[in-house]
Amino acid sequence: MRTDITKLKEDVRWQDLTVGCSVQGSKTSELFRTGEWRVNTPVFDAAKCKQCLLCVPVCPDSSIPVKDKKRKEFDLEHCKGCGICAHVCPFDAIHVINGVAVVDKDACKACNKCVTECPKNLIELVPYESKHLVTCSSKEKGPATMKACKVGCIGCGLCVKVCPAGAVTVTDFHAYIDQEKCTGCGACAQKCPKKAII
């Protein structure tokens, strides 16, 4: 009979399950990266946070770590984006916005902290007056990107071919616009088959 939850795979026969499908062992939930189920992503505004820790006990996934009596960034490997933490925060320091971290252009000071802190390297500083930008950050090959997102950049290179200023390049299956070279003609956005450039 199985006693280690890490051995419970798709090929396990019903006869080998634990009695009553009970979980054997401790701290087994840490092994399951349930954050990939998430639809909404909480955004933590450290400047507004007063460290009252009201959000910590209400999190059903224990995804708000605390160290030295201060909350840290979300554990996005386990957070499912339920939004309870945002609802309970009295200081408006947590926002959940359709699964995407949204920057308030008026409040942004271009300090670059979000760029350096993003564990997935998904954020880049773009000039406020930029005419066009690539809204996708995936560096996966086309088929993998299309499986995950309908409007993801597939690195096809059509934008590169039509750009008269040579401002668009494709690196690691991802289009990049050099804002210093971009003239704002919009040829890349018009040609993009996935509409990943706006």
> b or e along 167-187 (b: 16 or more beta carbons within 10 Å of the residue's beta carbon)?
bbebeebbbbbebeebeeeeb
34 lies in the same domain as 100? yes
Q: Would residue 5 count as lying in a domain?
A: no
Q: Which of 79, 108, 137 is the last residue of a domain?
A: 108
Q: Are residues 198 and 133 in the same domain?
A: yes
pTM (global) more than 0.85: no
Task: Tell me the β-bridge partners of 197.
Answer: 134
- DSSP letters, 83-95, are -HHHHH-TTS-EE
What would the pLDDT profile of 88-116 be if each residue is shown by its tens digit?
Answer: 888 888 887 765 556 666 667 787 777 77
Burial of 196 (0-12, 13-18, 19+ CB in 10 A): buried
Cα atoms in the 13 Å half-sphere on the side-chain side of 196: 26
In this predicted structure, the answer to whether residue 1 has a pLDDT above a threshold of 80 is no
In the prediction, which pLDDT does 22 show? 67
> How many domains in the chain?
2
What digits encode the pLDDT tens for the residues 35-61? 777 778 888 888 889 999 999 999 988
User: Which domain CATH number covers 91?
Assistant: 3.30.70.20
Domain range for 189: 126-198
Is residue 3 in some structural domain?
Answer: no
